[in-house]
Structure 1
Amino acid sequence: MQINPVKQKTANGGVSIGTMMFEFNTTGIGRIAANAGAEFAVYDMEHTGWDIESIRMLIATTPKPTLVPIVRIPTTQYHFVSRVLDMGAMGIMAPMVESAEEARLLVQSAKYPPLGRRGAAFGIPHDDYGIGTIPEIVRSANAEVLLIVQVETAKGLKNLEEIAAVPEVDVLWIGLYDMASSMGLAGQMDHPDLHAAIDRVLAACQKFNKVPAVLVTSVEEGQAQLKRGFRLVAFGGDVWIYQTALKQGLAALRNR
């Protein structure tokens, strides 16, 4: 497996900024994002309906490691984790993680023994069809894969410290909109209780040496979250970025 610059950068205290993909499953979208300066792209399976072949194409056309391909699987199950890693994903995002047991399942599914139970297959996309020494491939894959758990429910928040304490989990990603809904605060993004939840996630990251991550929908929000302490930040998603830019351009032309 190639060196994962996003994992290396954030593990050393740096900040990595990327984006998410929900709509444009094209052969060019990864290169477009990379040329725009994104460091990672999260290809979403939770909300898109993208099948495994779509994900395979998106990973294969991502210019690694300039752009690190991360896949948000629909649920934390072995066959989702192992298949997208074998296709060459360099990171996995698990949604709706609510317990240490679920976080450990992610680790077990993503890591080769002795750290986990990932099935062995070599000379396939995850190692660029290369022929290398198996011990080195295993060592590299275990070291470089980026594992992200999403804390985005009241139950996940309740079990936050147990989740954060799981070894080999790299990132705690707070899903703000799901968290607000789960807390009975749907759409109330400035509610004090939601801000308190954010502070708890940041504190857990500090205590257990995890990277705090979040999705932002504007430059201003992103700047505020970076200042707050988030170090892995996804700026919007393809469909919203396109729609916003198109709407602004059309309005400007009509109001000339």
Structure 2
Amino acid sequence: MDPAAIIFACCLVIGLIVGFLAGMFGIGGGLVIVPALTYLLMSVAGLPLEQVMPMAVATSLSTIIFTGYSSARAHYKLGNLKRNIVIWCGVGISVGAIAGAQVASAISGAMLKNVFATMLIVIALQMIFGKRTTSSHHANRATLSTIGAGSGFVSALMGIGGGVLLVPALVWFRVNMRQAIGCAALCGLIVAVFGTASFIFAGLKQTDLPAMTLGYVYLPATFGIVATSIFTAGIGARVGQGVDTELLKKLLAGLLILVSIRMIVGIN
């Protein structure tokens, strides 16, 4: 069976899981997509790590374009998008996303793998032990742009939407939680658009990428994940209303730590 067809079929299943988890916990699918794609592209397609890591990150970002648009549209209708926050965070995050994608495509696959796995551990530990606290200062334009740039850089480097980074930072500067989540939803779309475009541009220079890629974006995986994740996100959100999501989030974080350790010691 053609490797692309196998990966597409597997990504249909990954999309089901990613959409459900994103809807239930409000986390970006990239935390799951990147490790899963890394394994699939190496084991099924037989691609080297040097190609696989930027492809996995770029492909993850490309899926967030679709899910991020849906989420941002919903928050716009709910009135959770505050213009001042969105504009200045958006400016920073677009610059950071472009830079992050360029760095991710320039460093070695092994280094990118280790960077991703290390950051994944940090994020997972924050999910387990982090507490929502606030400072005594409100965010000004410079602060919002800086927060956006940092979140955009890390998000594009890891192939995630950025909400897991942006929301705590905005809340720290006394931004209303709903407005912080709404801003993160829209900024996740911005990260995805600028990060994906940057990865496509960087990948166009490579002549040895497999068929059905657009730059570093592997299209069969993108289409497979998007096709199913858009349906299960709503299911996950509804299920999340009736269960202790904090406990489940800690269990998920524990799983992410195990996955990241496996990436560090088990993928060469």
Q: Do these two structures clear the TM 0.5 threshold for a shared fold by scoring above it?
A: no
TM-score (norm 1): 0.28
Structure holding more helix per residue:
2
Give the number of the structure whose alpha-carbon radius of gyration is greater. Answer: 1
Larger RCO: 1 or 2 (CA < 8 Å, sep 6+): 2
Structure holding more strand per residue:
1
TM-score (norm 2): 0.27
